[in-house]
A and B are shown apart, each in its own frame.
Chain A
């Protein structure tokens, strides 16, 4: 049945795309406008004439260090969680050892304790370990939660018996098995997790806010919020330039790895 284009769908989807594209276009355009003009209320959707001056200001205002901190945090959180969770899930799925059930349930418990609910006492623990105001303190406490472990366990547990038998026949030990079979089999999940965790790590706000009072440890997200803190004194074009820089890495990661990300995310729920 030949029909014309589905105008309704295009309209709705077009509006949806616009809903998200508009603010981003605004920061892009705004970053090329003059801050004083913006402060007077003249922010416009059309690119301005200041070119990349705001980016230079943002760059010299500490953006590189903040971007690096965010990058370090995101990569370490993603990598750390993937490694720890896959190892734990591997242990729980393929071995029987004392306290296995206990370990599993304790880890499961962490699902119910988002960081916002344990901020004060976690801060106290960090204090005791001397991790306040340290880069380590930024990421280590965030790699312990259970979602990735549960996801991996699910995947591992559904590895077909034939593969396991084959490995057994070859006389492979557990670590060989992990490296040669388990890791490749769960590669897609790992890719998905990487995206999810990278974004999670990059976008953290409350935790770095608490842990790092030294401005030299600010992540880019914290940095931007500080820039707008006293609205009457913000350098708006630089704020927008910094926002563009802050949005780029996680967006690039999501877009480039979109296919794995989407399938990993939705498979995990089923």
Chain B
């Protein structure tokens, strides 16, 4: 794990690390500290008056039924996006792992969507599902289905889940495929010779061997769904209608940037920070040991 030191310079390494270190201090640690400090104050938007209020912002948050709703909604959202995205990706990876003609092309065609921005995924899905102009949206309304995610909260949540999950399939596919390819052929051959059919083989051999990949992806997907989906949700529904698609990260943005309630928004940020720390710690606990080698 540790290698013996190669060079004995003292000043040079400090200079080499300095840029990253300085950027980290100014754009990560200082703001994080500020967020913690602000979360314990109540300020006016102009920053002219600021009072220290201890943990009031936090108690207000957790006593607020709307915030608790947001938490529940975000959990539902994260679970749905991760599950959907990983299931589809796994299905595709399993078949892309087979020895078929043109699998290189299939793979390329399933990998390129990695390049799509979350906000762009929103635009693309809007063009599919928008009630007045979307390809499918218009069709639904013409055939008697009242489809309008601007008015119906459940439809809105469905749309953002679909768009978010869709965007992430490619990433999961890449990892699942790599994971499948690293399972030695001998193992699967042995299972087949033993008479295990496709699904049984998958269930008893393949899937368990994919466990590390799966676990890694679960954490990555949860973090993606919690944070990176900001662009998707904001572009499609801005958290609406009402609060139907207001996830925790959208709420931080709304309260902080739109409503200029720095205290509450900072408190929410701190809560989110703790969540990420917990998830990342979990991930590194189980996987980090290996990557340290």
| Residues on A facing B (Cβ under 8 Å) | 5-6, 8-10, 12-13, 16-17, 19-24, 26-27, 30, 38-39, 41, 43-45, 84-85, 87-88, 90-100, 103, 106-107, 109-114, 116-122, 124-125, 129, 140-141, 143-146, 149-150, 154, 157, 164, 168, 174-175, 177, 199, 202-206, 210, 221-222, 224-225, 228, 231, 236, 239-240, 243, 246-247, 250-251, 253-255, 258, 261-262, 265-266, 268-270
Contacts and interface: CB of A to CB of B under 8 A. Distances in A.
Interface string B6-42: 1111101110110111011111111111110010000
Closest 8 A-B residue pairs measured CB to CB?
A203-B117, A121-B34, A205-B231, A144-B23, A266-B178, A250-B115, A121-B31, A91-B13
Given A39-B133, A106-B24, A119-B253, A10 B100 contact: yes
B115 A9 contact: no
Main secondary structure of the interface of A (DSSP, over half): helix
Contacts of B132: 39, 41, 231
Classify chain B: how many residues form its interface, as a range: 35 or more
B114 interface: yes
Interface of B: 3, 5-10, 12-14, 16-17, 19-21, 23-35, 38, 88, 91-92, 95-96, 98, 100-101, 103, 106, 108-120, 122-128, 130, 132-135, 138, 166, 169-170, 174-175, 178-179, 213, 216, 223, 227-228, 230-231, 234-235, 249, 252-253, 256-257, 262, 265-266, 269, 272-273, 276-277, 280-281, 287, 290-291
B7 A95 contact: yes
A19 to B, nearest CB: 7
Contacts, number: 303
Main secondary structure of the interface of B (DSSP, over half): helix
B115 A247 contact: yes
